[in-house]
Amino acid sequence: MDIDRIHTPVMLERTLDLLEPALEREGAVFVDATLGMGGHSLAVLERFPGAVVIGLDRDTEALAIARERLARFGDRMRFVHTVYDGIADAVRGEGFDEVQGILFDLGVSSMQLDRAERGFAYAKDAPLDMRMDSTRGRTAADVIAEYDEDQLRRIFQEYGEEKLAARYARAIVRAREAEPITRSGRLVEVLTDATPAAVQRAGHPAKRVFQALRIEVNEELVALEAAIPAALDLVSTGGRIVVLSYQSLEDRLVKRALAAASSSTAPAGLPMELPEHRPQFRLLVRGAELASESEQAENPRAKPVRLRAAERVRRPS
């Protein structure tokens, strides 16, 4: 891959602006919890010359690209091979107890989508892999081969919010009895054949099923549900966290976690709020912020993004 032609990350300038009050001081520590090819980390290292960056990623291929791309920053850039729910161990492993900034840029990366052989994209025929860490774990082909009809229906409903989940699960089970489904092209054929023509006109029949398989293979929501509270615990007073989500399931988890952290814990009926009940965080944006119309026009991958951010205002006593 030509590292000089890597795309600009989604909502980059807005993310940097939100992080700036926390990262502009000397010695600030920033965690890029979804390092990818290092676009956000590169921008942070350049804009905040006193900051140290810890980059986490489960994808060894992405880590190799980021190491090459960010080598010139020396010890200011640290790399950790881990899923983002390992954020606390990663930070402490680098010698820090708290950090001033954290970013989660969730979902599948551009590199993973663009590499046909990784099997993430339903528009390209490839082995059904979908593992973000290709060194371990089951593949999407394993899920398709081993899950029974009820299990397939459940993940299509829960992780893909797919209305035809039962129909698709039944079609897959029937098709795999004739021959194993090991490639994305064959799975798309099965799904397309099972989709009414009117529904096909409304969008690609494989979109939500592929999302569900990716989430199941990588246990993304399980990891995220543990990662956000762990990340919030690491943020120092005055520190900030920014999260970019690309689908509603992710965004709902993030919304709930940030809402809880920014709410009073005072029991109902108390005449006054005690200091220990005051919120630990304050929200930095109202609701979920979208990419600008111009950015969405330039970069289709910015269309579904939802940005949420918060700042720690106090530590628990």
> What residues have CB less than 8 Å from 134, skipping those under 6 apart?
59, 60, 61, 118
Q: Are the C-beta atoms of 83 and 59 separated by less than 8 Å?
A: no
57 annotated binding-site participant: yes
- Give the closest residue to 167 by CA, choosing from 209, 195, 206: 195
Name the CA dihedral angle for 74, 80, 84, 90, rounded to a multiple of 10 degrees. -90
Q: What is the largest CA-CA distance in the chain?
A: 69
Read off φ and ψ for residue 32, nearest 5 degrees: -95, 95
Structure tokens at 210: 């592929």
- Other Cβ atoms closer than 10 A to 130: 28
Read off φ and ψ for residue 299, nearest 5 degrees: -135, 100
> What residues have CB less than 8 Å from 206, skipping those under 6 apart?
122, 187, 188, 191, 192
- Other Cβ atoms closer than 10 A to 137: 15
150 annotated binding-site participant: no
142 annotated binding-site participant: no
159 annotated binding-site participant: no
185 annotated binding-site participant: no
Annotated binding-site ranges for S-adenosyl-L-methionine: 38-40, 57, 84, 105, 112
Annotated binding-site ranges: 38-40, 57, 84, 105, 112
